[in-house]
């Protein structure tokens, strides 16, 4: 590195000097010094065609990215894995030959891993983040990995941008923070310059990314795939997982406090459910459509920043997944499990989605770095449960002992060596691909705002307020004013009122100009299926209720309340100032499940406060007790109280509304506990 006579900096790179003058940048090159002409698009056979294997720029960039960290996953490092089974309930035989999708009643073993994306393995469970949702099916025809997220779209349209996205969202390299957070400059700088991300931004700023439980999230395969039937005909498919417990999220303040109260909240919640026999269950649903139907869509289904509204292509439920067994060893299974979207079975195939095309290479490559060997498929959690037989030999950590002199095909020296089986082997879809090769993104990918607007206008007023407030919170952490202004400019294409709410929250005196949109924003009807509040199940199943008690509390009221809540399908935990037992008014003792300071109301879905006069006096001096009821009220939870409980609420200056009910009216409490008290929110916090 040296300076020119006028003080400009020069960098020697690949034999070529690239000058950095005031305001100018060095040429972007490969690691071999080749100047890159296009860092935005993978090489494909034609604008909507498959990505080409000869794209050495994509391969170098993805390969380097995949091997950056050892041995922790670069993304999805903090995960929770559970064994279970998938049972097919409706055959798709007219669409596919895949046995797992045609044999009704067949139960296929699965291993499902759910995870945060941005944080490391030691980060907390409850940040605002996308959740990974990956399912490994151990089918009779080989392993099928359905690797997706709890959000149906993604930030970027082309895999070549994935390293840039993750570098932007990860800890800033000069300071090593923030951990597991998007509220910082590098992330929002990248987003401000990547308008294709705006649909995903609506999702991650919504309540979808602060879930109450991993048992209460949806899962999506994200991309379009193909199903191929016996006649060789293909149909496009998108996969959806829908939780039987319904969707439920936390309040942002609640999520923040959960991170401190229990960094392992989601993992512990899943563990407790499995160990108690309350096995979580999801429906598997599909959207099926033909190329002819796809041609009529007002968007390109191959664009991973787009979803197909359920009103346009309805969901068809075809099966269910039940998770019923915790791993024997966390490292051996949850940490060593290796998923790859390229793991398919005959009857399923890929689409030309350019993000999916890059993932087909990246996932396998990153496992070579993480697990250190080409034989990682022999690790028990990754091994197929059907026979495998091929001519691959040796390699680091080879566990099998193939016999014989033949390790190639074709051969004439062995009558028992494996051979290809054209009749029932894997066949790719017979699709004609033709066009002009180049790094050109399809024009059909150019609409970046219409579905972002669709998502926003589909939310309830409460969810819209949460989304706007999340944007204000995140952008308030951004130091560079021009980045904040750029994001607000993008928001003007989505919803002018949303842009104004965020601008006001950030103290901007006037709305920044909106960037030029590549395509006009389309008018689309709201899709209620995109809400959370509108999709909550009318149930207490899978929920947990906390009852705060003290010495001389009314045992009869506690017993009736506990019985009613348990009958409704919820779990009850008794909380008191100390562990051990409390002595109730009738003289009997009651075991305590949680000590007050370590079991705040944030870990419950609703609470009850049953106290004697003596108990009120004692707890009125406990800040943890005051916080218990204040937070429950502030987080919009139902609260059941007796006379003593109401006295504690009065001392804590907690208000009275329809969600604060008499503990003797168990029916009213259960009805209130099934949801949040949304009308309360305006009285307890300011929102954008």
Active site (catalytic) residues: 76, 149
Paired tokens of 347: 């009857």
Angle subtended at Cα 490 by Cα 487 and Cα 493, rounded to the nearest 5 degrees: 155
Distance from CA of residue 502 to its chain's centroid? 25
Sheet holding 9-13, edge to edge: 2-3, 9-13, 16-20
Cβ neighbours, 10 Å, residue 83: 17
408: left (phi over 0), alpha (psi -120 to 50) or beta: beta
| Contact between 90 and 106 (Cβ < 8 Å) | no
Paired tokens of 516: 């030029």
| Contact between 556 and 615 (Cβ < 8 Å) | no
Q: For residue 110, how many C-alpha atoms fall within 13 Å in the half-sphere facing its CB?
A: 29
The Cα 402–Cα 409 span in angstroms is 15
Q: Which of 442, 483, 436 is nearest to 190 (CA)?
A: 483
Angle subtended at Cα 150 by Cα 487 and Cα 502, rounded to the nearest 5 degrees: 20
The Cα 511–Cα 492 span in angstroms is 9
Q: Report helix, strand or coil for 510.
A: coil
Sign of CA dihedral 631, 637, 643, 644: negative
265-269: long-range contacts, CB 8 A cutoff, minimum separation 24: 265/124, 265/125, 265/126, 265/603, 266/80, 266/114, 266/125, 266/126, 266/211, 266/213, 266/214, 267/80, 267/125, 269/213, 269/214, 269/215
Strands 234-243 and 281-289: antiparallel
Paired tokens of 336: 């060593």
292: left (phi over 0), alpha (psi -120 to 50) or beta: alpha
| Contact between 369 and 67 (Cβ < 8 Å) | yes
Could you say which DSSP state residue 602 is in? G
Please state the φ and ψ torsions of residue 283, each to the nearest 5 degrees: -90, 140
Peptide bond preceding 265 in cis form (omega within 30 of 0) = no
Paired tokens of 563: 């019985």
277: left (phi over 0), alpha (psi -120 to 50) or beta: left
The Cα 203–Cα 463 span in angstroms is 11
């Amino acid at each position: 590195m040296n300076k020119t006579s006028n003080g400009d900096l020069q960098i020697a790179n690949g034999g070529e000097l690239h000058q950095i003058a005031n305001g100018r940048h060095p040429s972007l090159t490969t690691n071999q010094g080749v100047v890159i002409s296009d860092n935005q698009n993978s090489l494909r056979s034609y604008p909507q065609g498959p990505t080409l294997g000869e794209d050495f720029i994509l391969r170098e960039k993805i390969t380097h990215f995949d091997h950056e960290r050892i041995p922790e996953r670069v993304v999805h490092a903090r995960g929770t894995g559970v064994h279970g089974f998938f049972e097919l309930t409706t055959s798709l035989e007219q669409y596919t030959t895949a046995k797992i999708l045609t044999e009704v009643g067949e139960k296929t073993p699965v291993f499902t891993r759910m995870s945060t994306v941005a944080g490391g393995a030691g980060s907390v469970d409850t940040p605002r983040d996308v959740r990974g949702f990956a399912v490994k099916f151990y089918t009779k025809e080989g392993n099928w990995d359905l690797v997706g997220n709890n959000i149906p779209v993604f930030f970027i349209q082309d895999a070549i941008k994935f390293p840039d996205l993750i570098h932007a969202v990860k800890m800033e390299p000069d300071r090593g923070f923030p951990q597991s957070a998007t509220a910082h400059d590098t992330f929002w700088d990248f987003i401000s310059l990547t308008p294709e991300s705006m649909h995903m931004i609506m999702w991650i700023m919504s309540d979808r990314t602060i879930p109450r439980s991993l048992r209460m999230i949806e899962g999506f395969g994200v991309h379009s795939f193909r199903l191929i039937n016996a006649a060789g005909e293909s149909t496009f498919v998108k996969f959806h997982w829908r939780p039987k417990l319904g969707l439920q999220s936390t309040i942002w303040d609640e999520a923040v406090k959960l991170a401190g109260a229990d960094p392992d909240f989601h993992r512990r919640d899943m563990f407790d459910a499995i160990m108690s026999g309350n096995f979580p269950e999801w429906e598997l649903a599909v959207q099926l459509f033909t190329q002819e139907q796809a041609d009529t869509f007002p968007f390109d289904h191959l664009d991973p920043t787009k979803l197909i509204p359920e009103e346009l292509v309805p969901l068809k439920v075809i099966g269910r997944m039940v998770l019923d067994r915790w791993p024997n060893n966390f490292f051996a299974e949850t940490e060593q499990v290796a998923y790859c979207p390229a793991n398919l079975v005959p009857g399923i195939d890929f689409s030309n989605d350019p993000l999916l095309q890059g993932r087909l290479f990246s996932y396998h490559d990153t496992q070579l770095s993480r697990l250190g060997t080409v034989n990682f498929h022999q690790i028990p959690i990754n091994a197929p449960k059907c026979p495998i037989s091929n001519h691959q030999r040796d390699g680091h950590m080879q566990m099998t002992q193939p016999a014989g002199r033949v390790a190639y095909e074709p051969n004439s020296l062995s009558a028992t060596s494996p051979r290809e089986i054209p009749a029932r082997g894997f066949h790719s879809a017979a699709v004609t691909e033709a066009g002009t090769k180049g790094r050109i993104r399809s024009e059909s990918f150019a609409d970046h705002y219409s579905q972002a607007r669709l998502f926003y206008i589909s939310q309830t007023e409460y969810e819209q307020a949460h989304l706007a407030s999340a944007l204000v919170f995140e952008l308030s952490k951004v130091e560079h004013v021009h980045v904040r202004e750029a994001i607000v400019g993008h928001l003007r294409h989505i919803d002018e009122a949303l842009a104004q709410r965020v601008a006001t929250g950030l103290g901007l005196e006037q709305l920044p100009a909106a960037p030029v949109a590549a395509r006009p924003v389309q008018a689309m009807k709201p899709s209620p299926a995109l809400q959370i509040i509108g999709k909550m199940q009318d149930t207490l199943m899978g929920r947990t209720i906390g009852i705060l008690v003290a010495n001389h509390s009314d045992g009869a009221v506690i017993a009736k309340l506990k019985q009613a809540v348990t009958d409704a399908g919820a779990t009850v935990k008794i909380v008191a100032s100390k562990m051990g037992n409390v002595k109730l008014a009738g003289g009997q003792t009651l075991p305590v499940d949680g000590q007050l300071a370590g079991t705040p109301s944030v870990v419950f879905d609703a609470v009850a406060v049953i106290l004697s006069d003596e108990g009120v006096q004692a707890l009125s001096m406990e800040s943890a007790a005051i916080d218990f009821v204040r937070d429950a009220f502030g987080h919009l939870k139902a609260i059941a109280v007796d006379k003593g409980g109401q006295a504690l609420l009065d001392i804590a200056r907690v208000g009275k509304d329809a969600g604060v009910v008499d503990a003797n009216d168990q029916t009213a409490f259960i009805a209130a506990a099934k949801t949040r008290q949304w009308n309360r929110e305006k009285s307890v916090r300011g929102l954008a």
